[in-house]
Chain A
Amino acid sequence: MTTSAKWHNPLRDARDKRMPRIAGPSALVIFGVTGDLSRKKLMPAIYDLANRGLLPPGFGLVGFARRDWADQDFMKVVHDAVKEHARTPFNEAVWAQLAEGIRFVQGTFDDDASFDNLASCLAALDAERGTGGNHAFYLSIPPGAFPTVVNQLKRAGLAQTAPDQWRRVVIEKPFGHDLKSAKELNRTVNEVFPEESVFRIDHYLGKETVQNILALRFANQLYEPIWNSNYVDHVQITMAEDIGLGGRAGYYDGIGATRDVIQNHLLQLLALIAMEEPVSFKPSDLRAEKVKILSATRPAEPFEETTARGQYTGGWQGGQKVPGLLEEGGFSPESKTETFGAITCEVNTRRWAGVPFYLRTGKRLGRRVTEVAVVFKRAPHLPFDDTATEELGQNALVVRVQPDEGVTIRFGSKVPGNTMEVRDVTMDFGYGHSFTESSPEAYERLLLDVLLGEPSLFPKNDEVELSWEILDPVLEFWARKDEPALEKYKAGTWGPPSADAMTARTGRHWRRP
């Protein structure tokens, strides 16, 4: 370690901004490699990284699953996944080089022999491909299997490192289903892997627009002076999906929208929008600010008025007849799982006191959209006739996370004509539709960061636990009292009436995204 710390690579120069950061020699082991995520996102992302020249020449990809496959079968699966889903064009030379490092280990999680096979496979890769004993384990598996797998990794000696080597583990949401289970999960993982080598994937944080929130806020002079309770009326954070839950009952039933989305994605977005300026963009400084703002965040009470939940029913959506949740296969006909959740948060800092943050998410809503809307107060005095500003709403700055990434500003403008009439117009920064075609997928960025050991875009255990601290009181309240009632909403609408009631009680209303 000491030699590498002292070594200054003469070919590196901070001014050399062109030079891409290539990951060092390493191997990535994917558990649950037969899953959808692995085929549609991970494998294509790995190929795209290789195609952009960002993977090291000594790179190994190891699949671990129950299937009775040989290396070639697995290679074929990866090949097909890459051909179908990769972002960059298929290049035979790149593929040939990547394929040399592809291995498959057949086994089950409770079988010691399989993990011993994995260990010898990785040792062989180190020797043949020079992966240097650096291994990342991607657990694309149900959280119930985490303890077994991490303990197996430990038993097989795969978690210990020699000097100048690293081991990293990548886990996916859900990070528990409440504070207690999250702590337990963190403990299980941290017993084997120290926190600095745990990478929790929240693919939203890999999106360019989300990272752009930091640039928008901290690189500009324009927004900072008004980014506080003197000017901001409230903030709305929405993540809506138009798809239903067909086929996902096993994961979703009993979990619900609030745990699935608000705990991780929406509270992370809230942290980025509300946090103070970090001292620097070093991962530890960035995280310090996120932790600070999350620890100042509380759900607003009384919950029967400040929260809402709902469940979609069947109907016509976008020209298709869709089933309601209770008719979806796998869900119990009595399921009380919410497919729409909304909460109100208050951030108890000088900057944000009195500004409600409304967070909502749901399935089978009007359209697929994720956005953050900062809605400003009305001008204190309007020197116009009442009739002139009747149609004027509140100014708003909207960060569109997906789709159609970009930023919209809404403000009042005069309607052409000989009377003074002011109406809302929008000014649009179309960051999205032009840039995205060529900008990397979130998973590309995140996988590369794992291999580079760059942790800024991954929530740490304290952030996860703080999010549960915010959410737990609401979840407990919902479980204890049946208030607000779990209301039905028709597929293709923007949620149940209680959602509108929770903003209307303070004279506000949801934007239609």
Chain B
Amino acid sequence: MIIDLPSTTTSQINSRLVRLRDEGGATTLGRVLTLVIVTEDGQRTDAAIDAANDASREHPCRVIVVARGARQAAPRLDAQIRVGGDAGASEVVVLRLYGELAKEGASCVMPLLLPDTPVVAWWPFDAPVSPSKDPIGQLAQRRITDAAAEKNPIKALESRRAHYAPGDTDLAWTRLTLWRAMLASSLDLPPYEKVVDAEVTGEADSPSTDLLAAWLTDRLKVPAKRFKATSGEGIVEVRLGRPSGAVDLLRPDGKVGTLTQPGQPSRRVALQRRSVRDCLAEELRRLDPDEVYAAALKSLAKVVKGRAHTAKDEAPAAAEATNGSAPKKSKAKAGS
């Protein structure tokens, strides 16, 4: 059921929600959190709502969408309530804010938060520079951003590092979970040897590749090398060098990976790229600060940006140059 409330106020929305609950039975019972989605009006807001609805099947929640509309218009709040079949296991309140109100999202969200349950903020597209200082971010225990969805993913990731606060997380990190698990379990097997070097290859603008290299740098205490792939999607290859031979996980097509390690036959691994809804469900599973992510972010500066990979000598020089400047900048920031 979709109910439109044009030019309204939050107290009208609230009383409508209570009335819906009275009429339709226990629709708001058992909600475990409030998820606030912040977008610009007209962005792919519906895709984000769909992902949230899917995630709500695991985490029943109230979803509040703050869609910021034209700043020049007269201030107005249009709301839409979706419940039942149109909202998965959640109830969705879409707030379209126009004019001066567009900057005042937090004040519209506040009265609609579920009492005494966690609040999660999610910027599916462009995130504020410092999520924890954003007015909506301040309402939330957990702030989810997505570097890969921004215009310059690598720069976005750099900004995440510079402005990290406990409770921040990024879907670029969530997309790594399967890779990390696969690599960790490959080291559970003999030979039990120290990893002496690590190399990560991926698309030039894949923030997940950078984060994976940073995580390996942090955990293995050796600076991982980050190479740019000329073909493939996202992360393409990870190599962990050990005295007796390397563990190699290669995913050229973004779907199926091949794991090679000494003493074992090489194996195929299903490593399909994860959907946003999958990542979001994982994010909502834990709401405490992710210290491992924080440590990985901190190590971003230690990652060695590789020269052209041996097999991919023809990597464009221009991309090389822009990338080469990134570590210098980050070092400067880390020092200040």
Listed in ascending order, the chain A residues whose CB lies under 8 Å from chain B are: 3-4, 6-7, 9-13, 15-20, 22, 24-25, 50-51, 53, 56-58, 91, 93-94, 96-97, 100, 127-130, 132, 164, 406, 428-431, 433-435, 437-439
- A25 neighbours in B (Cβ, 8 Å): 189, 264
B187: CB under 8 A from chain A?
yes
Given contacts A10-B219, A13-B292, A22-B181, contact A435 B58 (CB under 8 A): yes
Contact of A9 among B30, B188, B271 (CB under 8 A): B188
A433–B243 CA distance with the chains assembled, in angstroms: 52
Cβ contact of B181, chosen from A3, A19, A431, cutoff 8 A:
A19
Contacting residues, chain A, for B267 (C-beta < 8 A): 57-58, 129-130
Say if the beta carbon of B190 comes within 8 Å of chain A: yes
CA distance in complex: A433, B88 (Å): 11
Enumerate chain A residues within 8 angstroms of B16, measured Cβ to Cβ. none
Q: Point out residues on B near A: beta carbons under 8 Å.
A: 26, 29-30, 56-58, 60, 89, 174, 177-178, 180-185, 187-190, 192, 194-195, 216, 219-221, 255-256, 259, 264-265, 267-272, 281-282, 285-286, 290-292
What separation, in Å, do the CA atoms of A20 and B184 have in the docked complex?
10
CB distance from B68 to the nearest CB of A (A): 30
Report Cα–Cα, A6/B285, bound state, in Å. Answer: 32
When distances are taken between beta carbons in the complex, the residues of chain A under 8 Å from B220 are 10-11
Which of B180, B188, B194, B264 lies in contact with A130, CB distance below 8 A? B264
Nearest chain B CB to A138 CB, angstrom units: 22
B240 smallest CB distance to A (angstroms): 9
Please name 15 pairs of A and B residues whose Cβ atoms are closer than 8 Å in the assembled complex, sorted by A. Answer: A3-B192, A10-B195, A18-B282, A18-B292, A19-B177, A51-B270, A57-B267, A93-B272, A97-B270, A428-B26, A430-B29, A434-B30, A434-B56, A435-B57, A438-B281
CB atoms of A12 and B259 under 8 A apart: no
Contact partner, B270, options A7, A53, A58, Cβ 8 Å: A53
Alpha-carbon distance between A7 and B26 when the two chains are bound, in angstroms? 52
Complex contact A24–B189 (CB within 8 A) = yes
In the complex, A416→B282 CA distance in Å?
44
How distant is the Cα of A129 from the Cα of B255 in the complex, in angstroms?
20
Closest residue on chain B to residue A9 by CB atoms: B187
**B172 nearest CB across to chain A (Å):** 13
In the complex, A434→B28 CA distance in Å? 12
Do A16 and B292 have beta carbons less than 8 Å apart?
Answer: yes
Task: Name the residue of chain B whose CB is nearest to the CB of A94.
Answer: B270
- Tell me the bound Cα distance from A470 to B219 in angstroms: 52
Complex-state Cα separation, A435 to B282, whole angstroms = 14
Is A57 within 8 A of B268, CB to CB? yes
Contact A128 B189 (CB under 8 A): no
Contact (Cβ within 8 A) B181 A4:
no
Q: For the complex, give the distance between the alpha carbons of A487 and B194 in Å.
A: 70
Asked whether A56 lies within 8 Å of B58 as measured between CB atoms, the reply is: no
CB distance from A452 to the nearest CB of B (A): 11
* Given A430-B30, A434-B30; A4-B60 close (CB under 8 Å): no
Chain B residues near A100: list those with CB within 8 A.
268
Query: Are B188 and A435 in contact (CB-based, < 8 A)?
Result: no
Q: A10-B221, A15-B291 are in contact. List 5 more A-B contacts (CB 8 A).
A: A19-B180, A24-B185, A56-B185, A94-B272, A428-B29
A18 to B281 alpha-carbon distance, docked (Å): 11
Contacting pair B269 A97 (CB below 8 A): yes
Closest-by-CB residue of B relative to A132 is B189
Flag if A20 contacts B181 (CB, 8 Å).
yes
Partner of A57, one of B60, B194, B259, B292: B259
B89: which A residues are within 8 A, CB to CB?
A: 433-434, 437
What are the 5 tightest A-B residue pairs by CB atom distance, in nearest-first order?
A7-B192, A57-B267, A434-B60, A11-B184, A430-B30
- Distance in Å: Cβ of A22 to nearest Cβ of chain B: 5
> Residue on A with the closest CB to B264?
A130
Pairwise interchain contact A91-B180, C-beta atoms closer than 8 A:
no
Query: B269 is contacted by which of A16, A57, A130, A406 (Cβ under 8 Å)?
Result: A57
The reply to whether A57 and B58 form a contact with Cβ atoms under 8 Å apart is no
Q: Is the CB of A24 within 8 A of B188?
A: yes
Q: Are B268 and A91 in contact (CB under 8 A)?
A: no
- Closest Cβ of chain B to A440, distance in Å, is 10
Kindly state the separation between the CA atoms of A429 and B187 in the bound complex, as whole angstroms.
42
- Alpha-carbon gap, A495 to B282, bound state (A): 44
Q: Which of B60, B190, B272 contacts A435 (CB 8 A)?
A: B60
Which residue of A7, A58, A94 is within 8 Å of B264 (Cβ)?
A58
- Residue pair B30, A431 in contact (C-beta under 8 Å): yes
Q: Which residue of A lies closest to B193 (CB)?
A: A7
Question: How near does chain B come to A132, taking the closest CB pair, in angstroms?
Answer: 7
CA of A428 to CA of B57, assembled, Å: 18
> Could you tell me if A18 and B286 are in contact, using CB atoms closer than 8 angstroms?
yes
Contacts of A94 in B (CB 8 A): 270, 272
Please tell me if the beta carbons of B195 and A50 are within 8 angstroms of each other in the complex.
no
B192 touches A58 (CB 8 A): no
Contact partner of A437 (CB less than 8 A), chosen from B57, B268, B282, is: B57
Residue from B194, B269, B290 having most chain A Cβ neighbours under 10 A: B269
Contacts of B184 in A (CB 8 A): 9, 11-12, 19
A221 to B174, CA, bound (A): 34
Least CB distance, B21 to chain A, in whole angstroms:
13
